Structures are given as structure tokens and as C-alpha cells.
A and B are shown apart, each in its own frame.
Chain A
Amino acid sequence: MAKIMSLGEAVRTFMHDGICMAVGGFTGFVRDPVAFVWEAIRQGYKDIHYLGGHPGIPTFLLHAAKRITVMEHCWMGFGEMFGKLDVNSTRLYEEGKLIYEDYSHAQMAFRQLAGAIGAPFIATYAPLGSDIENPKYDALKKAGLRDGKNPRIAKEKFLVMDDPFYGKGKLILVPSSNPELAVIHAQTVGDMGTVRVRGVVSGDKELAFSADKLVVTCEEIVPEESLRMEPERNLIPFVKVDAIVEVPWGAHPSSCPYYYDYDSKFIAEQNVACRDEASMKKWMDEWVYGPKDWREYIGKLGAVKLLDLRAEQTTGYSTRIMRGRKPAPTLFKPVSWNR
């Protein structure tokens, strides 16, 4: 059964230098487990092998603090419409301080699926013909890391083979991904560990099952019984969960649908800060190392900000927050619906 822990305790228990890990969510926008990563940076963990998982803010913070040394991933971005490129990561890469292995997003998703179902590899068409499969661009092999000594690093980046069963062309075999630790953020978790996620899921279920250990941070820990009246709405059974941490607003500045929206101004400020190292350091001092704890970080945002970010219960997002140069229009029906 999962253990209920504080944020600090969970980070101390599950993190270590050189860990192979990944976290859930999607880019800078949905249920990024920011608080956990924020605390891990403050506790000083480094030399991380980041393996899959598609969040924007946690990887942005880890790169800003220079904690990831090896990364297998598909995207060096973070905030899409509010800040596309994660300059922290590209700066490290261009300086040769980050070993980065390019896969495509489908490949990473399928690698996680293989890990989650206990298969050592999986076949996919995605994306034949690309330089992603160019043997010259196998960064881990070039760094001498595919020698079989690290059980988390596959001996090959991929293999190409003909379909032996139906003759349907060539396929790419990609290795499973199995990190030591996965962290996801959910709206609610039962006190035994059953996880309920609302809104889009991204790759969180595969990620959860692919990892040896799973920490779930959440907005609320609720009585387990309340989640078992409609079990079809639950995503991950308690048996796979090792620790539960209640951290309200724990995904900020990404969103937690039906609780709060994403903080686009904050993401845009991060995007400006990362353009040079001095301003990034200043931003990190203010927002990561400055606050006494996560509660103080959220308090620092201010009550008005939190009021504007609070999500509406039918849509899951907020129309009070100013995302662009003009306020959101009041609509109760999509324009393209039922015409």
C-alpha cells in the first residue's frame, strides 16, 4: 500500500544522485509535477538520466539548475504558444554539457508502453526515413554509454527489421524505457493510493507502470471509498503507487484541470528569463531557492492571481485569466457545434 508522505520526505526517500527518472504531464500545460521537481532541485540532487516523459516546466527547471546530464527525449521545448524553445537545455547541449538522444514523440510513447507492459522492445513505423535513425546521430553510443554496463541504457538506439508476420514493410524496433522513478501529478488520490485524473492523460499511465517506483503528488488526498464508487473513472490502481503527497497547486504554472488553469504570464516570464544565464539565475533565486516552502511559493503568486487561475467547474479552465492582449469572450457553446 502507498505511503502518505510530505513533499520533503518523498523527495529524500526516492531521489538520489545519478537517478534515472521521468515525470508526467504534457509540455508546460497539464499536470506537470512541478512541486516535486522544485523540491528535488532545492535538496540538491544531480546527474540525472532523464528518460522520456513529456512535461515542460519540470525539465525546464532541472535544466536551469543543470541537474540533467543524460536525456532521452523527443522535444527540447517547454511552453508552446508562450515560449517554445527551452533555451536552458539547448544552451547546455551547445556547450556539450548535456548528452541528448533524439527520438520522435511516438517512439518515446511506444518505448514507455513497452516498459509498462513488461516487453523489452516494441515495433513501430514511426518515423521511417528520418535522420533520427541515422547511426551517426546515436548520442549515447558516441558517448560510450551503450556498452551494457548501465541497465537503464539500451545497447542499441533502435533496429530496423522487415515485418516477419504479414510482410507489411519495414519497422523500427525501439527499446522499452524503464526509469527507476516516475512522478505524476493528479487531481485526487485515495488514501490507499488509487489515482484519479481528470482531463487529458498524456502518457501518465504508461509512465507510471514503466517505472520501478511511483510517486503521485496531488491536489487532494480523499477517502479511498469515494473513488471506488465509480472505478472506471480511475487511472492507476493503488498497487503500483509507492508514495502519495498532497501538494495543493503542485502543478503551477501548468494547469490542473477543474482545479486551476495554466499561468501563461508566468510561463512567458520564464521564457524571457531563460534567454541569458544571468537573468535565469536571478529568476531561479527568486522562485526556486527563495521561498521557504511550496506554500510560500504559492503565496507569493498572490490571492488575485490564484482567484483568476481558479478553474470553472464545467469547462475545467478559467476565462478570467488574461492570456493574450484581450480578455476571453463569454461563450456558452462552441461556434462550430450544432449548426
Chain B
Amino acid sequence: MAMQSLTKTFTAGLWDSNPVLRLLLGMCPTLAVTAAMKPALTMGLSVVFVLICSNIVVSLMRNLLKPHLRILMFTLTIATFVTIADLYLKAFMPDMSAALGPYIPLIIVNCIIIGRAEACASKSGLLVSIIDAVGMGIGFTLALCLLAAIRELLATGKLFEMPIMPSWFTPWAAMGMPVGAFVTLGLILAGVNVVTKKT
């Protein structure tokens, strides 16, 4: 039963409560960094790291939190781990850090992270909080990668900067621009709605 509950918590973030496709959270990085696969994957993994760390800390101090100060505590915790992630990228992946620019520090105000701290970590034990963070983080990463794969393929004919499309393919420059992000995300969400209604 406990295993089933943990499995359900994990899989909720992948589909039923996918933060991008079902909850429509984290739209800013979703639209901004999905012009190519590499930045999308880097952003997704950064969010996974911050989610796991912040959920662990919030879960450990959940019994000590004062209700009127909890948001402040959440923000302090999240900001710390986002700063660590930002420093890590600057130190070990400087090209990706430059490509992502201000969107890594903006993870601090990503609603997914503070939302999971409030909805799960502040009310659950350590294991459940970690599983929830992993599920939500992977769900977010998969959604970003799906969007990035479509956009990069159509905008450049490449995936992970490796040529995929045949030589006769004419790249759609618009897919690399904001309009391409909005249209692609809209179509993906429409598809998700269709699939959800049918099931």
C-alpha cells in the first residue's frame, strides 16, 4: 500500500498533475528556453535539483514553520538552491549558463517549486516529499523536452545540434521565435486535452 501510494505520488507529476501540461505552471521558462533541446534539458534538470533540495528542507522543518512566515521560509530556501544551481552552471557549464541567461535565477519565482513546497513538502514526510519532487521535476523536464524537440527540429532541422531532417527540408525560422513557442505549446495542450477527454 505504501509502495502504491509512493508510485502514485511519483507518476502524478509525470501526467495527471504534470506541471506544464495539466497545471499550466512554469510557463515562462517553458516558452523561453525551449528553442533547442540542450537548454531545455539543462533547465529541466536544474528545476529537478532545486525541487528535490527545497522539498527536503521544507519537509524537515515543516513542524517548526509558523503559518504566517511559511512563504518567506519557502522563498529563502528556494533562492538558496537556485543560487547554487546558477553558480554550478557558471562554473561547469558556462556556455549553457550564458544561453539560459536570466531564466535560471527566475526559477526562484517558478510556481511549481513554491507550489510543491506548499502543497506537499510542508505537509508530508521526507520520502513522500522527495518522490513528489522527483516526479514533478521529471514531468516538467519531459514537457520542456517535448516542446524543445518539436521546435528545434522544425526551426533548424536538428536535434541536440545534430542534423536529423533530410536536405530538402526548409527550416521554419518562426519556430525558433516566441510565436513558434506559443503555437507549439498551444497545440500540445490541445492534444493533451483531447487525450484526457477520451480517457
Q: Do A and B truly interact? A: no
